[in-house]
Structure 1
């Protein structure tokens, strides 16, 4: 098992056990960036946050960890 396989396994375990907290962190970061840009790019920021949550949720092949 290589470094990247090990890192993916650890990240998958973290997402499985802490998915809600990770989603909240992504949302808070997106809100902060939206605030700092004055709301100019709100739709793009929201789309990026959704894609980040979807990508993390898909690590284990199931769509069940992040809402």
Structure 2
């Protein structure tokens, strides 16, 4: 899975260099899912947003945005 590892490395590098863009993307993705599901899965979406934000913080970038 060398190709996947390379892709993951590039994604992590991008996240470290552009934490604000990634945080905004996480927020927008969660809002999109909430909109399309009528908020039915809002708690789960918020949990995923929280986890993604925590992961981003672990990479050394961005502030955790709660959805």
Structure 2 length-normalised TM? 0.71
Q: Choose from 57, 60, 65 the match for 2:61.
A: 65
Q: How many angstroms apart in 2 are the aligned matches of 1:8 and 1:44? A: 24
Task: Describe the superposition over 1:10-56 as per-residue Cα deviations: whole angstroms up to 9, x where unpaired.
Answer: 22221111111011011001001001111122111111111122224
Question: Cα RMSD between the aligned structures?
Answer: 1.8
Larger relative contact order (CA 8 Å, sep ≥ 6): 1
Structure 1 length-normalised TM? 0.71
Gaps of 5+ in 1: none
Q: Which has the larger radius of gyration?
A: 1
Count residues with an aligned counterpart.
61
Q: How many angstroms apart in 1 are the aligned matches of 2:57 and 2:24? A: 13
Gaps of 5+ in 2: none
User: What is the aligned partner in structure 2 of residue 12 from structure 1?
Assistant: 12
